[in-house]
Structure 1
Amino acid sequence: MKTFVIFLLPCILLILARAQDNNGSFDPYATLFSPYTKQQWRSYQEKKINEGRKTELTFKVTYANGTQVEGAKLYIKQLSSDFHWGCGMTHRILNNTAYKKWFASKFTAADFHNELKWYWTERIQGQENYTDPDAMMKFADEHGIIVRGHTVLWDDVKYNQKWVKKLSPEKLLEAANKRVDSVVKRYKGRLIGWDVMNENLHHNFFEKRLGKNASSLFFNRVHKIDPDAILFMNEFNTTEHVNDELAPPEKYLRRMKKIQSFPGNSEIKMGIGLESHYGAEPIDLNYVRNSLDSLSQTGLPIWLTELDVKMDPKLQNSSGLQVIYLEEILRESFSHEAVKAMIIWTGASIDGCDVMCMTDENLVNTPIGDLIDALMEEWRTGEIEVVADFNGSCEVSVFNGGYEVTVVDPVTNGSSCVSFKADKVSSKKVDLKIMS
C-alpha cells in the first residue's frame, strides 16, 4: 500500500502542475483530480475566447511626410463578425413584416426547418414545389443572411415520403439522384453548405436499400454539382449525451473519413454539423469540451446547427434552469475557436417553437431572448474610441471580423476612413495616414 501511495503522489502532483497554463492560471480541463469552481471554469472560457476570438491590433497614425500624429482620435466600428449567430427559419416569416425585420436585425445565418427537405418540395412523386424555399432564399439574400441547405436527404425512414419508401432499390436510386440534382442545382452557389445525408449515424434508410456506401455516393454527387459548398454531416448526441453509443465523436469522425476516402471525395470541403439538442439535466461541460476538442483536430469548421435546451415543465424552476443550461452551453461552445456558428432552434413563437423561444407572439423577448441578446452584445466589439499616444500609436483588442476606422487630425479636425480585417491571418498592425 505504501508503495502504491508513493508512486501515485508524484503522478497527482504532475497532473496538477499541468493544470497551470504558461501564465500560471488554472486550466480545469487539464486535470482529472483537483476540484474546480464555476468561476475557474468561466475564467478558462474567457481565456480561450480572448485567444481564439480576438486580435490585438496596433494602430500607427502619421502624416503623409511620415511625422507621427500625437493625439489623433480613432473611431473604430465593427462592420461584421467572423462568427455567425443564426436562427431556424420557417415559411411563416414570409408574410410577417415585423418578424422579417426582427430576424434580419439579429442573425447572419439560418437553417430552414423543413422547407428544403424532400418531403416538403416533392410530397407527391413528380410534383415539385419550391415556392416557400425560393421566397425564403430571396429574403435571406436581400439581407446578407447565409443559409445552410438542410437537408438534401434524410436517413431516417420516418421522414421519407410514403411513395419513396415503396420504391425498389433501382427506382429509389433514380428518384434520390433526381432529388439531389433538382435541389442542389437550383440553389448552387447561393448556400454556404449542404447537409447531404441527415443523421446517418443514427439511421440507415438509404444504406439498407442502396448499400453501405450510399452516403458517400450522395456526397460525391452533391460535390460535383456545387464544388464550392461545405458539405456537412449533421448529427445529434455527438456532444449532448455521453451514453449514446451511436454517435460519439470517434464514430462521427470514422464515418466522415469513410466518406472522404470514397473515390472522388478527397477534394470535398467537409464541415461538422452538430444539432446540439440538450435536455433537462445539467450539461456535462467536460464531455462537451472533450468532444469539441476531438472534432476540432480535423481542422474543419464546426457548426451548432439546431441548438436548444429542452426542459421538463414538471421540473421545479424549469424556465430558470433552461436559461442557466443554455448560457452554459453557449459559453462553452463559443470558447472553442473551431465553432464557427451557432444556430438557435428556434427564435420567435410565431414559428411555433415547441422547445424554447426567444420571443413571444408579439416579438417581446423571453428570458431566453434576453440571454442571447446579452451574449451577442458581449461577444462583439461594437464601436470604440481611442487616442494615439506621443508616438502616434495605440493598441486595442477586438473580436475578429471586418472593421472601419475613422482617424481625425487633432489640429485640423480633418479625417480619413479605412476598412480592414482583424483575424489571425491579417496584419496586426494598421497604418493610418492623415493627408495634410
Structure 2
Amino acid sequence: MFLVSCFLTGLLCLTGGELIQNGGFESSKPDHWECWGCHVYLSSQDSHSGKHSLQANGRDKSYQGPSQYINVTTGQYYHVSAWAKLLNDLAGQDIAIHMQYDYPDGKPEYPEVVRHQNAKTSNGWVHLVGSFPSPSRAPTKARLYFQSGPAAYVGFAVDDVSVVAEDSTGNVTTAQLNLNIDTHRKSNITVHVSTTSGINPADVHVHILQTKKSFPFGTAVSAYQYNRNAAGGKYRDFIHTHFNWAVPENALKWPAIEPQRGHKNYRPALDMIHGLKAHGIKVRGHNLVWSIDRYVQDWIKKLPVTELKPMVKEHIQEVMNVTHGLLEHWDVNNENLHGQWYQTRLDEPDYNLQLFRIANHQDPSVKLFLNDYSVVSQGWSTSDYVIQADKFKNANVGLYGMGVQCHFGNEQKPDMSIIQSRLDTLAAAGLPIWATELDVSAQDENSRADYYEAALRALYAHPAVEGILFWGFWDKSHWRGEKAAMVKGDNLEITAAGRRVLDLLENQWMTDETHALSSSHDPITLRGFHGDYEVHVTYQGKELGNLKQTFILGKADYSVNINVHT
C-alpha cells in the first residue's frame, strides 16, 4: 500500500507505505495484534467501517489494550489515525495511543501520541488523530498500543488503524513561509510625489519607516521581577523595548491571589499591569480557573459541593471587576483538555461552559480563550482541541479564540511542516489562534536560535495566528532556565537566540525603506508590514519637516500624497 495525502496548505504530505498490518480488521483473525495481559478478538457486532472491529477484554490495568510492533526510522515523523469506541461508561475515562520503545540499556520509553479525553459510549466512534517523532536513538523494538484509563475494567474497541510517515523534510521552506508572511502580514503602500518646477527629482528621497508593529509579539512577565525592578531595571527595560503584549506569568492565577481563603492580594498583579500599560503594552489575563488537580488550592478542595460553585462564580466576578478595563483577554479555564477537577468534583461535565457564561456576562468586552498544550508542539490533543472548540462555539458562551501553548521538547527543533499542519487542523474550528506560551530548549545557543526561528516563522506565516507570546526570556526568570533563554545573567546579555529573535521581530519583520524619486515621477510602491508609520522627505540631503506624515497600515492598501515645492 502506498499513500499520498495532503493537508489544507498543501505543504505537508503523507507519502509512504502503511506501517500497520491488518489495521482494518477484515481478516478472519486478529493477525499481528496482541494485548498485554488481556485478550483481543474480532467483533462483527460493531465496527467503524467494514465487517469487524478489534475489541479487548479481560483488562485489569489501564495500559492494557491492542498493540502491534512496527518499524520506525530515526529522525522521522509519523501520522497516526484510528477510530475508537468506549463499550461501557465511567466518569473521566480517556482513550489514548502510546508508543513503547525498547533499548539495549533496558530502559524503555512510553511517549503518548494522542488522547481523547472524557470518552463516553454516547460519543460512538471517535477519531484519534496525532503525530509523533521517532526517538533520537534507534530502539531495538517499537510498539504502538492503545490504552484506556484511569479505570482499567472499561472495555473499548478500535478500528481503521493507520501509521504513515510524514514526509515533511523540504516541504516547507523559509521561502514559502516568507511568501505566506508577505501575503498575510503585509499590505501595499503607494507614495505619489509631485514637485514644482525647479525641483530636481534626483534630489528628492522618501523614507518610509515603520515605528510600531501591529502584530502582537509578547512575553510572560514575572510580577516579582518586574515590580522589584530586577537587574537594575534591565528586566523591565527589555520588556518595554522589545514587546507590545504581555501576560502575567502567575500573578493573576487564583492560588497567587488567594492562597488561603479570604487572604487576597491583587497588588503585585495590578502594579505590574499598570506599569506595562503605561509603556503601551497590552496585557492578557491568565487565568481565571485552572482545572489541573495539583494547581487547585487545598482550601478549595475542602469546600462542600454546595459552596464550590458560588465561590468560583464570586472569584470570577471579583477578579474581572478588579481588572476591568486593564486586560484584553482572559484564559477562562486553563488546560481543561487535561484536567477537569471542577467538573469531576461537581459531577457536571459541562461546567466549563458555565464558567465562560459567567465571565462573558461579567465583561463582554474582554475576549475569552481556551488555552492548552500538546496541540501544536505535540499532536496528542490536536483533534480533541478542535472538538472542544466546536462544542464551545455551538454553545454560544462567548468563546473568542484558541490559545496554543507551544512548549517544544528539550533539544527538539520545531518542524515547520508539522506546525503548519497542526495549525491547519486547529484552524478548521474557525477561531483565531494565539500562541500563548512559546519556548524551546537547547543547550547550544545557536541551536536554540535555530529552534526559535523555525517556530516563529511557522507560527507567524499561518493566517489563523493572531499573536505570539513567549513564555519568558531571561534565564533567571524562566521555568526552563538558561536552555530556553534569550538573555542571561544580571546584565541581561543577549544570547545568540535573543539576537536571532530580535532580528526577526525588529529587522526582518519591520519596514524601513528609502526611495529616490524617479525622473518620470512614477509612484513609489512597496509592501509594508502592518503597523504605525512615518514618512520623511529629504531634498538635497535636508529633511523637509513640514512634509512629514504618519499613518497606520492595516489589511487595506494605503496611499500617501506628497507635494515637494520650493
When normalised by structure 1's length, the TM-score is: 0.84
Deviation at 1:377, TM superposition (A): 2.8
Which of 470, 477, 487 is residue 359 of structure 1 equivalent to? 487
1:236 aligns with 2:373: yes
What are the equivalent positions in structure 2 for 1:236-315 lying under 5 Å apart? 236-242=373-379, 244=380, 247-248=381-382, 250-262=383-395, 265=397, 268=398, 270-280=400-410, 281-311=412-442
Cα deviation, 1:339-359, whole Å, max 9, x if unaligned, reads 222211211123254241121
Deviation at 1:183, TM superposition (A): 0.8
> How many Å separate the matches in 1 of 2:199 and 2:190?
14
> Which amino acid in the other structure matches residue 46 of structure 1?
N
- Where does structure 1 lack aligned partners over 5 or more consecutive residues? 22-26, 312-316
Tell me the SS of whatever aligns to 1:189: coil
Which of 295, 301, 316 is residue 165 of structure 1 equivalent to? 301
Q: Which residue of 2 aligns with 1:78?
A: 210
Which of 442, 448, 469 is residue 343 of structure 1 equivalent to? 469
Deviation at 1:148, TM superposition (A): 0.7
Which of 49, 58, 71 is residue 190 of structure 2 equivalent to? 58
> How many Å separate the matches in 1 of 2:541 and 2:472?
52
Q: Is the 8 A contact 1:88 1:112 kept in 2?
A: yes
Deviation at 1:161, TM superposition (A): 0.5
Q: Is the 8 A contact 2:402 2:433 kept in 1?
A: yes
Q: Which residue of 1 aligns with 2:221?
A: 89
Which of 500, 520, 530 is residue 371 of structure 1 equivalent to? 500
Q: Which residue of 2 aligns with 1:106?
A: 242
Aligned residues: 405
Tell me the SS of whatever aligns to 1:233: strand
> How many Å separate the matches in 1 of 2:205 and 2:444?
49
Cα deviation, 1:367-408, whole Å, max 9, x if unaligned, reads 322221222234333432112322251112211112121234
Q: Is the 8 A contact 1:68 1:392 kept in 2?
A: no
Q: Is the 8 A contact 2:371 2:402 kept in 1?
A: yes
> How many Å separate the matches in 1 of 2:536 and 2:320?
43
> Which amino acid in the other structure matches residue 303 of structure 1?
W
> How many Å separate the matches in 1 of 2:264 and 2:196?
62
Which of 118, 126, 129 is residue 262 of structure 2 equivalent to? 126
Q: As a proportion of its length, which structure holds more helix?
A: 1
Which of 395, 420, 425 is residue 525 of structure 2 equivalent to? 395
> Which amino acid in the other structure matches residue 186 of structure 2?
K
Q: Is the 8 A contact 1:147 1:192 kept in 2?
A: yes
> Which amino acid in the other structure matches residue 212 of structure 2?
S
> Which amino acid in the other structure matches residue 369 of structure 1?
G
Tell me the SS of whatever aligns to 1:151: strand
1:216 aligns with 2:353: yes
Cα deviation, 1:15-37, whole Å, max 9, x if unaligned, reads 89x99x9xxxxx64367479776
Which of 43, 59, 64 is residue 175 of structure 2 equivalent to? 43
> How many Å separate the matches in 2 of 1:154 and 1:145?
25
- Give the CA RMSD over aligned residues: 3.1
Deviation at 1:83, TM superposition (A): 1.4
> Which amino acid in the other structure matches residue 417 of structure 1?
K
Which of 311, 332, 335 is residue 458 of structure 2 equivalent to? 332
> Which amino acid in the other structure matches residue 75 of structure 1?
H
Q: As a proportion of its length, which structure holds more strand?
A: 2
Deviation at 1:63, TM superposition (A): 5.9
Call closer, same or farther: CA 1:412–1:175 in 2, change over 3 Å.
closer
> How many Å separate the matches in 2 of 1:149 and 1:40?
34
Deviation at 1:337, TM superposition (A): 2.5
Q: Which residue of 1 aligns with 2:33?
A: none
Q: Is the 8 A contact 2:13 2:167 kept in 1?
A: no
Call closer, same or farther: CA 1:83–1:379 in 2, change over 3 Å.
farther
Call closer, same or farther: CA 1:255–1:435 in 2, change over 3 Å.
farther
Q: Which residue of 2 aligns with 1:384?
A: 513
Ranges of 4+ aligned residues in structure 1 off by more than 6 Å: 33-36, 410-413
> How many Å separate the matches in 1 of 2:392 and 2:289?
15
**What's the % identity of the aligned pairs?**
25
> Which amino acid in the other structure matches residue 334 of structure 1?
Y
Deviation at 1:182, TM superposition (A): 1.1
Q: Which residue of 2 aligns with 1:29?
A: 12
> How many Å separate the matches in 1 of 2:444 and 2:261?
44
Q: Which residue of 2 aligns with 1:314?
A: none
Whose radius of gyration is greater, 1 or 2? 2
> How many Å separate the matches in 2 of 1:37 and 1:162?
48
Call closer, same or farther: CA 1:434–1:222 in 2, change over 3 Å.
farther
Call closer, same or farther: CA 1:320–1:162 in 2, change over 3 Å.
same
> How many Å separate the matches in 1 of 2:189 and 2:535?
12
When normalised by structure 2's length, the TM-score is: 0.65
> Which amino acid in the other structure matches residue 407 of structure 1?
V
Q: Is the 8 A contact 2:217 2:468 kept in 1?
A: yes
